[in-house]
């Protein structure tokens, strides 16, 4: 019976994969990437608004297996694959994302003020490099609107609320920046399961000032004054020096930060995995070019903290092997965006099913047993 279910899901995924590769993707990749993103958001909202389309989506994409379920910080995760921040910027897709097979979702990043983002164009595909160049600049409806909309909402999967500093000249001043983060944090503090402070957006006025020790110390001091039951995670860049990572880890201990999301877009346009020509001068890079640097960061943080900080691994996950590598390096959970765009939405189910196979092959009964196995300290 179990074998039949697994075989059916594999066939279903393969059929959707072929349809995506040969029909949908060629049509989508001919259109402007931001327009496609917007249309997918509208389509996702429509699918979620009707019981039948919602359960049909579930039928096409869902996969579950107890081997993948974990309780982390008292929160139940049915599987370890989450949607990374930046796809559902205004939290419009929280009802459909679980039906596409994700085990959790990070909404945002959400800022203190509503933010129109950087001028268009601000999203490009690097087809050969399996990557995107992202220059959105934190476009979102702002914490006031979004928190009002989500206030009484219940969610089917854990929701992580990513907050960032409004992308404007006014928040370049450090104190103003901290005030802006604190406003968004306060408004979002009782929504979802985990708060994420994104200190690594590569596309905002003033750069990434909170990777600096003193500034991050001041930011976390202010955040900690606001009482919330939700654990806090930080999302960091893959371009940090060892010294910067060590400082961040120190501050995580000082302020009881429970986890790190490793990692955001890279700013390094000389990354050897970028093989396309004509790379836009602006923006951060996602996908395959971020994979190795994110993996190195995961391994380093896991070793350095002896597994005491929860790590969410993100960057360049396109299949189960990619996800498994991050888990074995120390990630308890993983996230993706670019893989879903290049391979299709069935990739979430494919990754989950593939993970079960890989875990069983290595003799593990549950995913938690594999975390950090390749980063022994």
Ligand X SMILES: Cc1cc2nc3c(=O)[nH]c(=O)nc-3n(C[C@H](O)[C@H](O)[C@H](O)COP(=O)(O)O)c2cc1C
Residues forming contacts to ligand X in the complex (CB under 6 A) are: 84-86, 108-109, 123, 132, 134, 136, 138, 162, 198, 235, 264-265, 286-287, 290, 314-317, 336-339
By beta-carbon proximity to ligand X, the closer residue of 297 and 359 is 297
By beta-carbon proximity to ligand X, the closer residue of 79 and 109 is 109
Residue 317 DSSP code: -
C-alpha dihedral sign at 233, 234, 236, 241: negative
By beta-carbon proximity to ligand X, the closer residue of 1 and 94 is 94
What span, in angstroms and rounded, lies between the C-alpha atoms of 237 and 57?
34
- Residue 39: φ, ψ to 5°: -65, -35
By beta-carbon proximity to ligand X, the closer residue of 259 and 315 is 315
Nearest to 321 by CA among 270, 370, 368, 376: 370
What span, in angstroms and rounded, lies between the C-alpha atoms of 115 and 140?
5
Q: What 3-state class would DSSP assign to 334?
A: strand
By beta-carbon proximity to ligand X, the closer residue of 74 and 192 is 192
What span, in angstroms and rounded, lies between the C-alpha atoms of 358 and 364?
9
What span, in angstroms and rounded, lies between the C-alpha atoms of 363 and 112?
47
Place of tokens 């093989």: 275
Tell me the H-state helices in 103-238.
143-150, 174-188, 213-224
Nearest to 337 by CA among 374, 280, 294: 294
By beta-carbon proximity to ligand X, the closer residue of 33 and 372 is 33
- Minimum distance, C-beta of residue 274 to ligand X, in the bound complex (Å): 13
- Minimum distance, C-beta of residue 363 to ligand X, in the bound complex (Å): 29
By beta-carbon proximity to ligand X, the closer residue of 65 and 162 is 162
Six-digit token string for 237: 């860049």
Strand order in 284-285's β-sheet?
A: 123-126, 131-134, 284-285
By beta-carbon proximity to ligand X, the closer residue of 12 and 267 is 267
User: What DSSP letter does each residue of 188-215 carry, written as one string?
Assistant: HTTSSSEEEEE---TTSTT--GGGSHHH
Residues composing the chain: 377
By beta-carbon proximity to ligand X, the closer residue of 309 and 348 is 348
Nearest to 233 by CA among 304, 133, 332: 332
- Minimum distance, C-beta of residue 139 to ligand X, in the bound complex (Å): 8
What span, in angstroms and rounded, lies between the C-alpha atoms of 325 and 170?
41
In 225-349, the DSSP E strands lie at: 232-236, 259-262, 284-285, 310-314, 333-336
CB-closest chain residue to ligand X: 86
């Amino acid at each position: 019976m179990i074998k039949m279910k697994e075989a059916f899901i594999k066939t279903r995924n393969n059929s959707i994969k072929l349809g995506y590769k040969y029909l949908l993707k060629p049509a989508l990749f001919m259109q402007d990437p931001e327009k496609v993103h917007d249309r997918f958001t509208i389509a996702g909202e429509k699918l979620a608004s009707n019981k039948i389309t919602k359960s049909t989506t579930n039928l096409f994409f869902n996969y579950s297996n107890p081997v993948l379920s974990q309780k982390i910080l008292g929160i139940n995760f049915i599987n370890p694959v989450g949607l990374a921040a930046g796809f559902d910027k205004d939290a419009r897709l929280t009802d459909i994302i679980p039906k596409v097979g994700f085990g959790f979702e990070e909404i945002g990043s959400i800022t203190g003020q509503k933010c129109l983002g950087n001028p268009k164009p601000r999203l490009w595909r690097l087809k050969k490099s399996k990557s995107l160049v992202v220059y959105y600049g934190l476009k979102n409806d702002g914490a006031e609107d979004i928190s009002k909309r989500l206030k009484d909402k219940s969610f089917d999967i854990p929701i992580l609320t990513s907050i960032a500093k409004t992308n404007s000249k006014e928040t370049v001043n450090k104190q103003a920046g901290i005030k802006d983060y604190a406003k968004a944090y306060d408004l979002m503090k009782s929504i979802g399961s985990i708060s994420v402070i994104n200190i690594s957006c590569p596309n905002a006025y003033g750069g990434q000032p909170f990777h600096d020790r003193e500034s991050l110390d001041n930011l976390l001091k202010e955040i900690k004054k606001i009482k919330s039951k939700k654990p806090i995670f930080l999302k960091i860049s893959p371009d940090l020096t060892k010294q910067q990572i060590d400082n961040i880890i120190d501050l995580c201990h000082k302020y009881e930060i429970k986890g790190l999301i490793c990692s955001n877009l890279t700013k390094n346009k000389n990354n050897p995995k970028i093989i396309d020509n004509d790379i836009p001068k602006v923006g951060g890079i996602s996908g395959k070019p971020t994979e190795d640097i994110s993996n190195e960061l995961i391994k380093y943080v896991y070793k350095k903290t002896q597994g005491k900080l929860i790590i969410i691994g993100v960057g360049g996950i396109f299949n189960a092997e990619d996800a498994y590598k991050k888990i074995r390096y120390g990630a308890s959970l993983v996230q993706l965006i670019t893989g879903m765009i290049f391979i299709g939405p069935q990739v979430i189910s494919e990754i989950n099913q593939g993970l079960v196979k890989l875990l069983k092959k290595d003799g593990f009964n549950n995913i938690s047993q594999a975390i950090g196995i390749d980063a022994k300290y």
